């Protein structure tokens, strides 16, 4: 699959943009395990044009993680255009527009998935951003606002006509937020539409290598995107890529190996931020890791992990787990 000159190979598997998750350290780690493209967390166009320090930091990318997309959101055309130009100067490979975020503070104000209630404005912003920058512009959105307005099949054509060069579809409506199951049938419909010539990236509930392959096979998408299943499990890209390429599961990765990866994730996060903020950021990922699933009486240890404030404390909990649980 290609997005303009960016060749992502066959059956690309992408790391989804996720606020407070896809910082440079995590993106790089996923990239090393095989993610074919990574996305920054979404960046507010309003904050960007005001040069808010914390927001500007989100534009930090490094060459090792390429190809990388920076994602922006906003609800005003002029602001989005200005933000897009600021983003372009930081030289990402792609600029992605978020029309999918369902949370109240974003969608409730008309940005993100809120734009699914104002399609003319969504298209105006998309056209203006495409015209404002030279890099490829892509869009990530949902099936529609709610069950009665699943408009993605016609919307995909309209967005394509605005000049976007790929479309990511999360198989839920805004009303669903993150509940229920992602429905890939309409994603497949978009892909089947003979008028659609841009790559279609499917997203939602891909949690196993088998499901990843099924999504390619059943719905014909050009790429799949993985979000939550990468929490505390960045090696999912290695598992998925191997399965797609060979049709076989990767030989099981040992518990110790996975623990070492998580330790590295802690250190990367601390090096990127500082000890306090790095730990705050990463301890939630660790506590959510599927490698601890099924361990009897693990609740206390998980709580201790969520309360850890230093690397030493967190590592001693990981040592305790290693010494006290046999998996
Ligand atoms: C913690 C969290 C933060 C997210 N932040 C973003 C974001 O910044 N931009 C975006 O387009 N989607 C965001 N999403 C949505 C994901 O990119 C993805 O569409 C969604 O989680 C469904 O994919 P999954 O089932 O593989 O997780 C976020 C999701 C989660 C759970």
Using CA atoms of 42, 47, 51, 53 in order, give the dihedral in degrees to the nearest 10.
Answer: -70
What is the model's pLDDT at position 41? Answer: 97
pLDDT value at 16 more than 70: yes
Q: Are 87 and 70 in contact (CB under 8 A)?
A: yes
Test site for ligand 1: of 141, 184, 228, most ligand atoms within 8 A of the Cβ: 228
Rounded (10°) angle between helices 185-192 and 209-219 = 40
Q: Provide the 8-state DSSP code for 226.
A: E
Q: Are 106 and 134 in contact (CB under 8 A)?
A: no
Query: What confidence tier does 205 reach under pLDDT thresholds 50, 70, 90?
Result: very high
What is the model's pLDDT at position 319? Answer: 93
Test site for ligand 1: of 13, 14, 16, most ligand atoms within 8 A of the Cβ: 16
Widest Cα–Cα separation across the chain: 59
Query: What confidence tier does 318 reach under pLDDT thresholds 50, 70, 90?
Result: very high
Cα 142 to Cα 319: distance, rounded to the nearest angstrom: 42
Q: Mean pLDDT in the chain? A: 96
**pTM given for the model:** 0.97
pLDDT value at 326 more than 70: no
Q: In ligand 1, which atom is closest to the CA atom of 96?
A: 11
pLDDT value at 327 more than 80: no
Q: What is the mean pLDDT of residues 92-104?
A: 98
Q: What is the mean pLDDT of residues 39-52?
A: 97
Cα 311 to Cα 281: distance, rounded to the nearest angstrom: 12
Q: Is 170 annotated as a binding residue?
A: yes
Residue written as token pair 């409506």 = 173
pLDDT value at 324 more than 90: no
Q: Are 127 and 153 in contact (CB under 8 A)?
A: no
Query: What confidence tier does 88 reach under pLDDT thresholds 50, 70, 90?
Result: very high
């Amino acid at each position: 699959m290609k997005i303009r000159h960016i060749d992502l190979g066959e059956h690309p598997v992408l790391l989804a943009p996720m606020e407070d998750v896809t910082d440079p350290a995590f993106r790089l780690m996923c990239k090393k395990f095989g993610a074919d493209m990574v996305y920054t967390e979404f960046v507010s166009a309003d904050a960007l044009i005001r040069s808010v320090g914390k927001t500007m930091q989100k534009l930090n990318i490094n060459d090792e993680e390429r190809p990388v997309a920076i994602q922006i959101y906003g609800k005003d055309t002029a602001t989005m255009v200005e933000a897009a130009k600021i983003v372009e100067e930081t030289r990402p490979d792609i600029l992605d527009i978020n029309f999918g975020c369902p949370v109240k503070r974003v969608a409730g104000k008309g940005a993100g998935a809120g734009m699914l209630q104002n399609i003319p404005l969504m298209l105006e912003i998309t056209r203006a951003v495409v015209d404002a920058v030279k890099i490829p512009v892509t869009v990530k959105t949902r099936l529609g606002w709610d069950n009665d307005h699943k408009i993605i099949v016609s919307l995909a054509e309209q967005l394509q006509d605005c000049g976007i060069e790929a479309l990511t579809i999360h198989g839920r409506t805004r009303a669903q937020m993150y509940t229920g199951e992602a429905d890939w049938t309409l994603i497949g419909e978009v892909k089947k539409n003979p008028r659609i010539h841009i790559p279609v990236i499917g997203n939602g509930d891909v949690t196993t290598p088998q499901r990843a392959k099924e999504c390619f096979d059943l719905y014909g998408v050009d790429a799949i995107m993985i979000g939550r299943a990468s929490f505390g499990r960045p090696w999912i890209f290695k598992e998925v890529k191997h399965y797609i390429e060979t049709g076989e599961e990767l030989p099981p990765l040992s518990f110790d190996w996975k623990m070492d990866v998580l330790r590295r994730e802690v250190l990367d996060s601390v090096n990127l931020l500082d000890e306090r903020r790095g730990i705050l950021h990463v301890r939630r990922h660790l506590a959510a890791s599927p490698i601890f699933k099924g361990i009897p009486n693990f609740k206390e240890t998980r709580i201790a992990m969520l309360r850890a404030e230093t690397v030493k404390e967190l590592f001693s909990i990981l040592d305790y787990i290693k010494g006290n649980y046999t998996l």
